[in-house]
Amino acid sequence: MFILNGSKDKHMAKKPTIGICRVCGQKKTLTEEHIIPRAAGGGDKIKLYSGDELLKTLSDDEKPYGKIKQNGHAEYTLCKTCNNHSGSSYDKDFSDFYNTITLNILKDITIPSDVSREDYLEGKRLEVELRGIKPLNIAKRILVSFCSVEHPGLTDRKPEIRKAIQDKEYRPKTDNFSVYLSLHVGSPAYYGTVAALVNVNGNYTPIAYAGIEADVLGFHLADHDEHLKGGGLINCLDITEWLTRYKYNEIANVRLELMFSKSLMIRFPIPTDK
């Protein structure tokens, strides 16, 4: 049995509230955190698909309902200290990376007029050589996004993720998670987040999987080496080593090979009851 996040009450009051910061774990006033930084367009108008809406894509009859969000997707999940720290430490490098990929991809792709965008792109490979990026900084901002999605508990039980965000220089142990990059064929207006939960003794517990898809890029957090198990992450690029191989602010040239596929949201590894 599994459920998806994105419960019906999640679009309710969005005013600042006291809560547990997803990064430092302290009880504080929570501030608005954009899942994708504003510098990467994360504050622009989007159509947001929550997890239970995306579940409808599994059915032939139902279409998912996307909610228009005028100022992007943001949640009150981080305290001001962690929000500011993340912004000043990682946002620029992530945004440069994100904008380079999304703008280049969108600019260079011409879809023939007699075929749909989805059908044309599905299964196509894209190779990009990125010069002068800061892999550790970028990967850490991706971890911040996972801490910030609406569903609590996803990263709470992975202290290495939180420590890696708090300490710029720290290179985390990654033996219980992997981070992936994907390309999907959705439109630039498409945006969705999802987390999978497994029912353990009557309590829904997040497993280590979450997906964020924005523009044509997707980010996924899963169990270590989940892509080797033949599930939905099989065509994703494992970028976990960006967290362990590089230092903070270290510059590198990175070659990415990515395959376009339809939304991965519906292909996440479905947990089984234990």
Buried b (16+ CB within 10 A) or exposed e, 225-261: ebbeeeebbebbbbbbebbeebebeeeeebebebbbb
Residue 113 DSSP SS3? coil
CB of 24 to Zn ion, least distance (A): 3
CB of 85 to Zn ion, least distance (A): 8
CB of 33 to Zn ion, least distance (A): 10
181, 218 Cβ separation under 8 angstroms: yes
Contacts to Zn ion by CB under 5 A = 21, 23-24, 79, 82
CB of 78 to Zn ion, least distance (A): 6
Tokens of 170: 């720290």
Pick between residue 21 and residue 40 the one whose CB is nearest to Zn ion. Answer: 21
Pick between residue 162 and residue 220 the one whose CB is nearest to Zn ion. Answer: 162
CB of 44 to Zn ion, least distance (A): 26
Q: Which amino acid is at 201?
A: N
What is each CA distance from 211 to 85, 166, 222, 250, 254, in whole angstroms?
A: 23, 22, 9, 27, 23
222, 233 Cβ separation under 8 angstroms: yes
CA 209 to CA 207: how far, in whole Å?
Answer: 6
CB of 80 to Zn ion, least distance (A): 8
Q: Is 186 exposed, middle or buried (0-12, 13-18, 19+ CB in 10 A)?
A: buried
Pick between residue 24 and residue 266 the one whose CB is nearest to Zn ion. Answer: 24
CA 86 to CA 23: how far, in whole Å?
Answer: 10
Pick between residue 90 and residue 246 the one whose CB is nearest to Zn ion. Answer: 90
Pick between residue 151 and residue 162 the one whose CB is nearest to Zn ion. Answer: 162
Q: Which amino acid is at 23?
A: V
Pick between residue 123 and residue 159 the one whose CB is nearest to Zn ion. Answer: 159
Pick between residue 121 and residue 165 the one whose CB is nearest to Zn ion. Answer: 165
Region class of 4: left (phi > 0), else alpha (psi between -120 and 50), else beta? beta
Residue 167 DSSP SS3? coil
CB of 164 to Zn ion, least distance (A): 14
